[in-house]
Structure formats: structure tokens, C-alpha cells
Amino acid sequence: MSHHVDFELPLNASEEEVTPSPVRMGSARSTYSAPAAAGEFGIINKASAWRKIRRGRKQSILNRRGWSNYDPLSYRQLRQGSTFTTDSSAATEETGLLRKMSSAESDQALLGAATPWEGLVEMFIENKINYLFVFIPFAVWSHKAHWSDGSIFILNFLAMVPLASMLGVFTEELAAHTNDVIGGLINATFGNAVELVVAIQALFAGDFRVVQASLIGSVFSNLLLVLGMCFLFGGIEHKEQEFIAQGVVASISLLGFSGVALLLPEFFDDAGDDSQDVTATISRLAALLLIILYGLLLWFQLKTHVHLFQGDDDTLAMIPYSWALTGLVVITAIVTILSEFLVASIDGFCTEFNLGRSFVGLIILPVVGNAVEHISAVSVAMKNKMDLALGVALGSSVQIALFVLPVTVVVGWFTGREMTMKFPPFEVALYLMSVIIVSMCLSNARSNWLEGSLLVSLYVLIAVGIYFEKDLE
């Protein structure tokens, strides 16, 4: 007989309260069972997990600064003298009549109100990795001054790490001002924007090998390194951790489907003079199917089965909507410029440091877009919130495999560039084997440090093999 733990999520929950940890009762394993509530199915995309993590961090900022009633919109209303408050002398439970604040009341409220500017500053200083913003002017100048490709690559690489972090923060801030559907679509579009921008820049430069390597490398990084580190460090803190199986099974199945899409073009290597055309056709059709499947995944979560994911919404915003939109546009523009410099310097960087382009794409470039999320995933795993960690690691893998990769194929199709899903055979084999091994580790809905060490070791083994691939190029 299974036991169930019912819970309710308070509106002002902190990061530690967002996801309850499974507990054991007697000899049976407990499960989350809030009917029609978040956690019944599990987290199957990165947006849901990242939103919960951000919610906890924002709540921590509010608690630390004493901003118990912080609202970025109310401050503007106070300054304009347009805030209304309940008139206790006339209001009743039924009517709740409102009256406009007097000038004196507005001035008094302003004295203790936090400004959106303070909220914006907190967003930037909450993560020490944002100190790498100091490299942005050096990154731009290195390109303008024609420094060595190695210097240009390193400086732009360092500058893009905090940009990727803040891109995710502004994306979540923008989504916090919308409803579940629009917020989900915003997160789905910009969730892996850095990987998409870098891939498209490499595509326009005609460097298809870097495009393929950076995207499949991002999947390897999330699926093996991040997930393995979560299991490893989470297992050190907690001997055994449990998670909800349904969402995990869905994610692995989607990754398996993408593996089949990568495998099909391999069968048409020697199909004669028309082999390239056949490969391109299959790749484009597979890309369209992957994008459709990703859309169905969003429809499943945001529309038809939304009751399984209630509680993912986050109405807590640190800055106004216009600020979030402006920040998202500005950060995206800077990422686009620096990624162009980064891609243009890859060949010179490889020559200067005697590295293969495949190694740079598969191992080094994925760090740019995922460093902060990787740290966050490991952090929540150590707090025994394995569902959130899985949501980041597996969700990001699914988003890249089902959305970012096929979008680059479609963009290449419409711009006359022969970008296909025909990857090197051994990389496809490694991809499929990785999915199989991860599915085995997740099969019992429990994790420990030994499984984590297995996944991390597999990633290191793949990195060693890819390092020597330069001899084959």
C-alpha cells in the first residue's frame, strides 16, 4: 500500500519551500500526491524548473532586503499619486470600496518602498558570475584591434557567460508579467537563445561542423555532465534521492525520438549521386517533425494537461514589464554581436591551441550558454530537490534536441545553406548510447552518487575521444 503526502504551495514560498522532498513512511516509498497539482506528473521542460528556482532566489532577495510587499508597479503608481487603498471606514467584505491615497500617504509610502532600480541591481549582483561583465569592452576591443584569434575567442567566451545568465533572468522577468501560456512560450523561445544564436552565426559562416558539434555537445553536457554532477553531489549530501518518474520517462522518450531522427540520414551515405539531396530532404522533414513534436509538448503542458502542472506560474516580478523587455532585447543584441566575433575566431583559436573544431564545439562552447544553469541544477540537487535538477538537465536537453537543432536545419533550408542532420556516425552512436545509459540510471526513480560518477565518467570519456578527433579532420 502506498502512502501519499498532500501539500499546498504558499504564495510567498522560498526556494526551500517550492518543492517538497519525498519522505519515507514505514516500508513504502512516499510519493507526491496533491491531486491536480504541480508535481503529479513531474517537470518535463527547463522553463518550469528554472521558474521555480528563480522564484526561490527572488524570494530570498526580498526576505534579505526586507521587501515583504515589494511590487515594481506600485512604486511607479506611488510616484504618480495614483495608488488606491481600501477605505476601512466604508469598505465591507462584499464591496471592498477603494479610495485614492492622499499626497501625504503617498509620500509616507514612498519612504519605505523599494524602487525597481534597486530590484534591477539585485538581479545583477545576486550571482557572482556576473562580475565577468567587465570582459565585454575587452571582448569588443580585441576584435576591433585585430588581436590574435586565441585572445578574441577567450575574451568573448568569458563575456558571453554572464550575458547568457542575464538573458535567462530577463526572460523569466518578462514571463512573470504574462499568463501561463504566454510565459511558457517566452521561456520556450528564449530558454536556449545563446545556443541558437551561436549556432545560427556559425551556420551563416558556413561552419556546419561547429553548428552540429555545439548543439550535440550541449545535449551531452546537460544529459551527462550536469545530470551526473547533480546525482554525484546530491548523493554525497543525501545517500539516496527520489524523483517523480513520469516526466523523466517523457523526456527520455523525446530524446530517443530525436536520436532516431539523427540516425536516419546515416543510411544514405552511398546512395549515389543523389545521396546529398536525399539526406537534405530527410533532415528537413525530420526537423519539421521535431519542431511539431516540441509544439505538441508545449500544448500538452500549457493547454490540455495544464492541471498536472499547476503552480508553475510565478507572478513575482523584480522589475516592470518594459524594463524586462528592454533588457531582453539589449542582451540578445549584445550576444548576437559577441557570438559573431566568437565564431569568426574559432579556426584561429584551434590552430593556436592545437585543438580540434569538434572538441571546441562539443566540449567548450556548451559552457557559454549553460554555466549558470548547471550551477543552479547542482545547487538544488544538493538541497534534495532532484525534480528541479532533472527539469533543468533533461529539459534543456529536450529543448535543444527538439527545437534548437531542427530550427538551425530549417534556417539553413530557407537561406540556401546545406545544413543537415547527418552527424558523424560515432557521435550519433554516442548520443544514442548516452540516452540508453541515462534511461537505465533513471529507471528506478532513485539516484545516488555512484550513478552520478558513472555519468560524469562517461562524459569525460567522450571528451577524451572527441579531443583526438582533430586527427581525423
Q: What is the pLDDT of residue 411?
A: 93
Instruction: Using a pLDDT cut of 90, give the percent of the chain over it.
Output: 29
Residue 472 DSSP code: G
Q: What is the pLDDT of residue 337?
A: 92
Report which residue type is found at 447. S
Mean pLDDT to the nearest integer, 51-62: 72
Q: Which of 16-30, 252-266, 346-360 has the lowest mean pLDDT?
A: 16-30
Q: What is the pLDDT of residue 216?
A: 93
Unique residue bearing C-alpha cell 513520469: 246
Instruction: Find the DSSP H helices in 300-448.
Output: 321-344, 346-353, 357-359, 366-382, 386-399, 405-414, 425-442
Whole-number average pLDDT of the chain: 77
SS3 of 86, please? Answer: strand
The model's confidence at residue 68, banded by pLDDT at 50, 70 and 90, is: low
Q: What is the pLDDT of residue 21?
A: 42
Q: What is the pLDDT of residue 38?
A: 42
Q: Which of 115-129, 179-193, 274-288, 397-411 has the lowest mean pLDDT?
A: 179-193
- Mind listing the pLDDT tens digit for each residue in 383-420? 888 888 888 888 889 989 999 999 999 999 998 888 88
Higher per-residue pLDDT: 204 or 128: 204
- Residue 294 pLDDT more than 50? yes
- Mind listing the pLDDT tens digit for each residue in 305-320? 766 665 544 457 778 8
- Mind listing the pLDDT tens digit for each residue in 100-110? 444 444 444 44
- Mind listing the pLDDT tens digit for each residue in 87-128? 434 333 333 334 444 444 444 444 445 677 777 787 787 778
Q: What is the pLDDT of residue 280?
A: 86
Rounded to a whole number of angstroms, the distance between the first and last alpha carbons of the chain is 58
Q: Cα–Cα distance between 46 and 187 in angstroms, integer?
A: 8
Q: How many CB atoms lie within 10 A of CB 18?
A: 22
The model's confidence at residue 289, banded by pLDDT at 50, 70 and 90, is: very high
Q: What are phi and psi of 320, to 5 degrees?
A: -65, 165
Could you tell me if 127 and 165 are in contact, meaning their C-beta atoms sit under 8 angstroms apart? yes
Write the CB contacts of 136 (distance below 8 Å, at least 6 apart in sequence). Answer: 159, 163, 334, 338
- Residue 23 pLDDT more than 50? no
Q: What are phi and psi of 28, to 5 degrees?
A: -95, 150
What CA–CA distances, in Å, run from 86 to 81, 176, 310, 433?
A: 15, 26, 30, 62
Q: What is the pLDDT of residue 126?
A: 77
Q: What is the pLDDT of residue 31?
A: 37
Centroid of chain to Cα 301: 17
Q: Cα–Cα distance between 253 and 387 in angstroms, integer?
A: 17
Q: What are phi and psi of 466, to 5 degrees?
A: -65, -30
Q: What is the pLDDT of residue 460?
A: 94
Q: DSSP letters of 3-39?
A: -EE-----TT--HHHHSPPP-EETTEEPEE--TTSTT
Instruction: Using a pLDDT cut of 70, give the percent of the chain over it.
Output: 72
Q: Cα–Cα distance between 256 and 434 in angstroms, integer?
A: 10
Q: What is the pLDDT of residue 180?
A: 62
- Residue 434 pLDDT more than 70? yes
Q: How many CB atoms lie within 10 A of CB 157?
A: 21
- Residue 446 pLDDT more than 50? yes
Report which residue type is found at 427. E
Q: Which of 14-28, 154-168, 378-392 has the lowest mean pLDDT?
A: 14-28
Write the CB contacts of 232 (distance below 8 Å, at least 6 apart in sequence). Answer: 449, 452, 453, 456
Q: What is the pLDDT of residue 28?
A: 36
- Residue 229 pLDDT more than 90? yes
Q: Cα–Cα distance between 388 and 80 in angstroms, integer?
A: 40
Higher per-residue pLDDT: 363 or 90: 363
Could you tell me if 365 and 153 are in contact, meaning their C-beta atoms sit under 8 angstroms apart? no
